[in-house]
Amino acid sequence: MNKQFYLFTVGILWVNILFAQTNLGARLTAMGNNGAAVKDIWGVAANPAAIGNVPHPTLQITHQEHFFTKAVSNQALALAFPINRQIIGLNLQRYGISEFQNIKAGLVITRQFGKKLAIGLRANYHQLKISNYGTTTGISIDVGTIYQFTDDLCFGFYINNPSKETYRNKSLYITIPTAIYLGIAYRTSNKLLVASTMSTDALAIGVDYQFIKSFSLRGGLSLNPFTHYFGMGFSKSTFLTDFSFTKYPSFGYSPQLTIGYVF
């Protein structure tokens, strides 16, 4: 009974988190979830325009456990491959517990306009399952843009669900979140990348420092709530492994592992 009550309580709290947070892979997570202006394959889950520079087909999968318990976790997949001047991406997300499960699938199309501008569009399918209430589904569209101002300075903007779509269930009225993100990424040297993202209700800053070609350290902070992030990444040839740790003010640590392959 105590375990069920604990999971139910955590589930109630986790529903608020899962609607406000999308798994962006361990690299962007370690940088404070800075996905607005940082070019990365996990743009398939953040700014859809951020995958515009993916040169080869790339696949990454990630797993994150919240509060060091397997009962509360999320998994995600990111896939991107170039076709002429377009990049096609796929994102799958699953998060929650047995009583609260949210599944999201996104199809991304991104196009480069010259060397500076990229525009991306993402179509999402949402499925939400809540015990004793049933299952409901919904569809939403996200749009984003990336502008490479200089070789070292990049601006990003994207908006999730601008049309304010909702889940399609008359007995369970839940809106699909609408949020606006504005970001900047600045490479101060060939080793250090600094990024910041401002959203509708939060502010984050993060860094990625490449000690050597195959090893990087990352860190970040975000407000509302005040959250710490830390991580590291290893890469060798076509394989990569990223780790991150997120410290929530009330819930403790959440470790995350991402592995990837470039074809």
Judged by DSSP in three states, 203 sits in strand
In sequence order, what are the residues at sequence separation of 6 or more whose Cβ sits closer than 8 angstroms to the Cβ of residue 132? none
Whole-model pTM: value is 0.90
CA distance linking residue 188 with residue 198, whole number of Å: 20
- Residue-level pLDDT at 21: 61
- Tell me if the bond preceding 225 is cis, omega within 30° of 0: yes
pLDDT digits (tens, 9 = 90+) for 101-132: 889 999 999 999 999 999 999 999 999 887 77
Q: What is the CATH number of the domain that holds 84?
A: 2.40.160.60
In terms of C-beta density within 10 A (0-12 exposed, 13-18 middle, 19 or more buried), how is residue 32 classed? buried
pLDDT by residue, tens only, the chain of 263 residues? 454 444 444 444 555 555 556 899 999 999 999 999 999 999 999 999 999 989 999 999 999 987 656 667 889 999 999 998 899 999 999 987 777 788 999 999 999 999 999 999 999 999 988 777 778 899 999 999 999 999 999 999 999 999 999 888 766 677 889 999 999 999 999 999 999 999 988 899 999 999 999 999 999 999 988 999 999 999 998 999 999 999 988 778 899 999 999 99
Domain span at 25: 2-262
CA distance linking residue 143 with residue 26, whole number of Å: 23
CA distance linking residue 192 with residue 216, whole number of Å: 10
Contact 57, 263 (CB under 8 A): yes
Domains: count for the chain: 1
- Residue-level pLDDT at 175: 84
